Structure 1
Amino acid sequence: MSAEIAFVIGVTSLLFCICLGIITYLSSEIEYGLAKEFGYDVADGTIQSPNYEEYALNAYSSMVENNRDVIRANSRRFRYTLECLFLGIGYLSLSGYYFLGQLPGSIELLVGIVFTACVGIVVFYIHGEHYLVLERD
């Protein structure tokens, strides 16, 4: 593996990382609180007790469920972003090492293979979510 190939892999990974981060940020829409109309209806007496408690609890349950879907999707996107960031930093570092080190071809190839294996193990660890403390539901 040459410095140019490692550089291209690194830059491409960082560009993917930036794109995934932007997509994740722009698609993050969390629901919170009840609609203002609900408050007006309770204040006007349109919704009486015990119905308003049921409406409020159902609304909050629905929002929690929707937010879980958003958080789950964001978690997946951030995981991909982290993988791309790790690859980008790693391969850019490797290209700098190749450029500054001026190693012979066989040593350069061996370093590239060992480095790629190490990066693969870390990316597999990240992608497999082996770092999670709590189990997903």
Structure 2
Amino acid sequence: MNAENEDFVRRRQLQVQRELEDATRDEVVVEPETGRLPVCIESALPSKCIVSFDAHESEVNALCWSPSGRLLASGGGDRKVKLWTVLRGQHQCMGQYLGSNRAINSVTFDDEENLVLAADNDMASRVWGVSDFRLKRS
């Protein structure tokens, strides 16, 4: 069963990689008469790893950069959401958000970077404050 799951995950990752490569090849046409610009002018796949570090005690399921790009939120199978600063190849954990009962599936910031929202496997969403690391709403 594990071998089948690993094979499925490997095939899915290859499919996603091919889809991303195909998407970067799509040509974007800007039509001057409409006056509208496309959302994405240029896209590219990363060619090398800039920084790599162990963020969680188990797998990392979710990552999200803050709107300003100053902070990175990560969520993992260890039921934690961690807040990071990553600058010039260096990383520092600013703190962690606790209170989830299951693995974290998704993380995101609000537009003002005051709140972090996380969804987990127990069908719950939790909102924490960025500055005080306190649970605001569940």
TM-score w.r.t. length of structure 1? 0.28
> Higher relative contact order at CA 8 Å, sep ≥6: structure 1 or structure 2?
1
Structure with higher Rg: it is 1
By percentage of residues, which structure has more strand? 2
TM-score w.r.t. length of structure 2? 0.28
